[in-house]
Structure 1
Amino acid sequence: MENAMFCYQCEQTMGGKGCTKHGVCGKTPEIANLQDLLIYQLKGISCYAKPLIEKGEIIDKEIVKFVENSLFTTLTNVNFDAEVHVELLKESQKIKQTLRSKAPTGQYPEEATYNLSDTKEAMLKDAVKAGIMYDQNLDPDIRSLRWTIIYGLKGISAYGHQARYINYHSDQVDHFYFRALEATTNDDLTLQDLIRMTMRTGEMSIEVMRILDEANTEVYENPSPHKVNVNVKKGPFIIVSGHDLRDLEQILQQTEGKGINVYTHGEMLPCHGYPKLKKYKHLVGNFGSAWQNQQKEFNDIPGAIVMTTNCLMRPRESYKDRLFTTNVVGWDGVKNIKLNQDGTKDFSPVIDKALQLGGFKEDEEEKEILVGFGHNATLSHAETIVNAVKNGDIKHFFVIGGCDGAKPGRNYYTEFAQKVPQDCIILTLACGKYRFNKLEFGTVAGLPRLLDVGQCNDVYSAVKIASTLADAFDTDVNSLPLTIVLSWYEQKAVADLLALLSLGINGMYLGPSLPAFISPNVLQYLVDTFSLKPISTPDDDLKSSLQQHYQ
């Protein structure tokens, strides 16, 4: 049994059912099982924290931070370092004991009463009972909802981590981690209770994205439209990947005047829209395409790379020596840049590596794309947009976005975007946009037809834009000429989907395949309640979304 694993949290899971021998993401059974046990420990911690919260006691923010970072560590493509997991597990036991000593006496589930073993080998043996499929007799719909909640929490934790790093948080979200994790251990909860908790997870996802939006826009100012060069420049360089604006800012500060060019990569692309970041002249462009092409694109490049959040793939030997991680990201043998006591980081090992490697030998011809259409920038054109809709110049809005992945079926999103009629606007966000963001879409009613709203957490921006337009037309979001077409890969997309469902948004398209953790009955519930549709072909889906509003 020890070599076995079971994980079905991401879209690329084996055969659409679950990885049982090795993770498609690069996770070994050892890592998968340590992650199962860590989640099990977080559930146990939450069983003791929940009654304390209900008594009005304050849970130490260091404990909240631990739970948030541990959830984030287990998200797809974040951390592959066994020792990091063992350390987190040891810490989880200390926290559990602290809370256990304060919690009221009573009956607690096994997740709470379990005590961690001392060695990694023993932990791995224990991890069997933390496995997703361990309880064979559990109602599949209960299992499905419990894991949907946990995957939603993993997405929330990524956004919570990012906001907390710049000193923003929501007490409501902080408490919810414990309430929701406890709910996944609670056999007294009915299917209805768990559906309510799943929707509540969506509400908390909106709340955490709101906080992160506030954090990013107050600290770095509201994004504004800005052209970004997607080709390379001569000279030493650092590529910054992931999602974390504060890490990028510190790298920019520490490289100023050193003759080093800084490129964003992947979901860092929207950073070029923030005034407080784009003021640095050596932030010269965006390198490469979506995260799943990194092994090819980072191969032997003469510069340094920093992974700030998720989307790390198994590094090839050709660039492992120039790859750095920070925050909860980790791979065995790759240097992790730690947080100093004063909340800053020292990126000098990255800077030294970039200078030593020397960088690109010559400039490529510039090619620019436009970013920076967050809610503030887009809604500054609200009057133009509303008038264009009223006089028929703009017929429909499509939100096409989400997480990208490597499976062939994802060409659907490129084709869909290309086939959207000329009198429609496309809003895009997250790394799904790499499927089409370098194509020419032209303008409509004086606006670019493709508006890049930002990172995956900027679903919040898309919601804000939609609800403001709905108010302008004196209607609700579901009555707008708007279609949402989502691509999902990991658990942030689950948090985003739950967020949109919690707002009652109907008729969304989801692909390239449906989550393996959604049971047939739960899927039926989502279809019946929210008209959630699996994608079919770009032509059919376009036709039905346009027809729906113009009968």
Structure 2
Amino acid sequence: MFCYQCEQTDRAHGAPGCASAKGNCGKDATTADLQDLLIHAVKGIAQYNALARGLGSADREADRFILYAMFTTLTNVNFNAGRFVAMLREAAQHRDCVKAAYETMALAQGVAAQAPAGPARWQPGADLPQLLAQAADVGVDAGLDVVGADIVGLRALVLYGLKGVCAYAHHARVLGYESDEVYAGVASALDFLAREPVAAGELLEQALALGSLNLKVMELLDAANTGRFGNQQPTAVRMTPVAGKAILVSGHDLGDLEALLQATEGAGVQIYTHGEMLPAHAYPKLKAYAHLAGNYGGAWQDQQSDFANFPGPILMTSNCLIEPLPHYRQRIFTTGPVGWAGVRHLEHHAFAPLVQAALALPGFRETAPEETVTIGFARHTVLGVADKVIDAVKAGQIRHFFLIGGCDGAAPGRNYYTEFAQAAPDDTVVMTLGCNKYRFNRHAFGDIGGIPRLLDLGQCNDSYSAIQIALALAEAFECGVNDLPLSLVISWFEQKAAAVLLTLLALGIRNIRLGPTLPAFLTPGVVQILVDQFGIQPIGEAHADLAAALARKAA
């Protein structure tokens, strides 16, 4: 195997990348190689999908499969090799259906049908050894000795950004929100990668195009979440348990949470959120369920201790799964794109086994003293008091805004974000999104004239809110986003973060501080391009970076 798509990447042996029998995320070599082959197969579907779209046709089921398949290859999503073998067969079937439809349409329109090379001609091996032999030629570093590390790194930036785009689009799709423009953009990007581009400028241009596409996807996901569950509202969320039977829901998928709340209404079971599901409590239609009891635990990297101590079953709905430990493996369930061999997978919201497990397990024996955190400051809330915010800035009460957000993780260096947030002066506002918030969301930040100094904008899936707030402030002050008293301090971990970064770059936002380490696929040459063109900066020491941000804006 070779994998370097996330911040867990092994950096101990010179050339960075997990290349042993098991990656640092827990993914074994077989699964890693099958994921590489699935990406290759999906490119083949996209090659014919792009051609079919050129003749006015599209295969919606193939489009949906592409999003799902790409999502399963994100870090900490699916570790079940058997599921990937099945998806490879399914990918070939989708490709053949799209190919047949395209050729029929070409004949009907009197157009000579094209026969693309590369992934479009792939046929799945007869068994696992043959599939793994095929995978050996299509890894992310294929052609390294020919095109060089910078091209491979830029190609990886495009691929990993595209994985994030597909994940966000899948989240919107399962809530009933789809866009042919998005599907066409995804197919076009995969078709581009299938042609094995080798020009640095062309790859960077494609990366920025993906950033623009991801803005549309995040807008679609924002519409899906607010259309289905209402606009977020400021909400105090209980962070301590109450007595009773309990189920813990982790991941990101609000639709799965809603379905579980419906399935357990009146069943005598309390539902708790974990990790990036915390923002669910701010949506009116979700918090209306009386048995949505509160939030339990911390960010995703704490799950092995959180899940071990939770006295009920756990449902994992999307990315951020860590290898289940033996003492809770029998009470964890997966759904959607998530999977781990030997862990029970629930399709189509068939939650009966989960509820049965909750009723059989002890639950919380007593109610703990209440502790809360306040969330729900997505764009509708913040922009609803924009006049007060603008007046506070003009009056000198608010000197600066910091967006300190993104993914959390277990690697050394992430205390930087705690130190930075807590050291931010009292006349500054800290906005946050993603599970990075768990680094500091229990700190007492206070308020500025009734405006909370800590504004929790939601999940990483809510990045659209942060962008819209920044754009609205820029419009109000008649300046560009880069001229605002605003600094972005971003913690990245996996491919959704890569997609959001590309969106910020596509919008022309500069001087983003990124950490705790730069992605391993960004070679020194690629980093220099990002520094020169976009002012990307690796994080340094928290207090020094804070002082530099305040000095730059003051100047």
Verify same fold: TM over 0.5.
yes
Tell whether the 8 Å contact from 1:300 to 1:318 is kept in structure 2 after alignment. no
Residue equivalent to 2:296 = 287
Q: What per-residue deviation string (whole Å, max 9, x for no partner) do you get for residues 213-252 of structure 1?
A: 0011011100010000111111100111111111111111
Question: Equivalents in 2 of 1:297, 1:251: separation in Å?
Answer: 20
Instruction: Check the 8 A contact 2:80/2:341 in 1, yes or no.
Output: yes
How far did residue 141 of structure 1 move?
2.6
CA contact (8 A) 2:398 2:429 kept: yes
After alignment, is 189-198 or 33-42 more displaced? 189-198
- CA distances 1:258-288 after superposition (whole Å, capped 9, x unpaired): 2211111000000110000011111111000
Q: 1:95-494 residue pairs with structure 2 within 5 A? A: 95-101=94-100, 102-103=102-103, 105-106=113-114, 108-135=116-143, 136-187=145-196, 190-339=199-348, 345-494=349-498
Q: What amino acid maps onto 1:167 in structure 2?
A: G
Structure 1: state its 5+ residue gaps.
Answer: 340-344
- Offset of residue 97 of structure 1: 2.2
Structure 1 equivalent of residue 108 of structure 2: none
1:15 aligns with 2:14: no
Q: How much has 1:187 moved relative to structure 2?
A: 4.4
The structural deviation recorded for 1:50 is 1.6
Instruction: Return the offset for 1:191.
Output: 2.2
User: Per the alignment, do residues 7 and 189 of structure 1 end up closer, same or farther by CA in structure 2, a change over 3 Å counting?
Assistant: closer
Higher mean C-alpha displacement, 182-191 vs 251-260:
182-191
Equivalent position of 2:54 in the other structure: 54
Deviations for 1:172-201, whole angstroms, at most 9, x for unmatched residues?
A: 111111110111122466322221110011
Q: Percent identity?
A: 46
Matched position secondary structure for 1:137 = helix
Q: Which residue of 2 aligns with 1:515?
A: 519
| Structure 2 residue ranges without an equivalent (≥5) | 104-111
Shift in Å, 1:134: 2.8
Query: Are the aligned partners of 2:147 and 2:198 in contact in 1 as well (CA < 8 Å)?
Result: no
Alpha-carbon distance, 1:444 to partner: 1.3
Counterpart CA distance in 2 for 1:433 and 1:405 is 12
User: Residue 130 of structure 1: SS of its match in structure 2?
Assistant: coil
CA RMSD of aligned residues (A): 1.3
Would you identify which runs of 4 or more consecutive aligned residues in structure 1 move more than 6 Å?
Answer: none
Residue 26 of structure 1: CA displacement? Answer: 0.5
Partner letter of residue 33 of structure 1?
A: D
Letter in 1 for 2:96: Q
**Which residue identity lines up with residue 37 of structure 2 in the other structure?**
L
Are 1:183 and 1:189, in contact at CA under 8 Å, matched by a contact in 2?
no
Question: For 2:328 and 2:280, how far apart are their aligned partners in 1?
Answer: 25
The aligned amino acid for 1:318 is H
Distance of 1:141 and 1:51 partners within structure 2: 30
How far did residue 349 of structure 1 move? 1.0
Per-residue CA distance 1:51-82 (angstroms, 9 max, x = gap): 2222322x211101111000000000000111
1:511 positional shift: 0.2
> In terms of mean alpha carbon deviation, does 375-384 or 9-18 score higher?
9-18
- Asked if the contact 1:397/1:481 (under 8 Å) is kept, the reply is yes
Partner of 1:29: 29
Q: How much has 1:105 moved relative to structure 2?
A: 4.3
SS in 2 for 1:47: helix
Q: CA deviation at 1:109?
A: 3.1
> What's the offset of the Cα at 1:106?
4.3
Q: 3-state DSSP class of the match of 2:404?
A: strand
How far did residue 382 of structure 1 move?
A: 0.4
Q: Is the 8 A contact 1:301 1:319 kept in 2?
A: no
- Matched to 1:206, the amino acid is L
Deviation at 1:549, TM superposition (A): 0.9
SS of 1:84's equivalent in the other structure is helix
Deviates more, 1:368-377 or 1:172-181: 172-181
Aligned AA (1:79) = N
2:49, 2:153 → 1: CA distance? 24
Per-residue CA shift, 1:460-503, capped at 9, x if unaligned?
10011111111111111111000000001110000111111111
- Tell me which amino acid in the other structure corresponds to 1:275: P
Q: What residue in structure 1 maps to residue 45 of structure 2?
A: 45
Structure 1 residue matching 2:130: 3-state secondary structure: helix
Aligned-residue offset at 1:292: 0.5
Q: Describe the SS at the equivalent of 1:392.
A: coil
**Alpha-carbon contact 1:410-1:512 (below 8 Å) kept:** yes
Match of 1:342 in 2: none
**1:158 alignment partner AA:** A
User: Which residue identity lines up with residue 84 of structure 1 in the other structure?
Assistant: R
Change (3 A) 1:462 1:300: closer
Code of the aligned partner of 1:86? V
What SS does the aligned partner of 1:408 have?
Answer: coil
Does residue 66 (structure 1) correspond to residue 65 (structure 2)? The answer is: yes
Asked if residue 536 in structure 1 is aligned to residue 540 in structure 2, the reply is yes
Whole-Å separation in 2 of the counterparts to 1:519 and 1:415: 28
Q: Which SS does the other structure have where 1:359 is aligned?
A: coil
How far apart in 1 are the matches of 2:76 and 2:255? 21
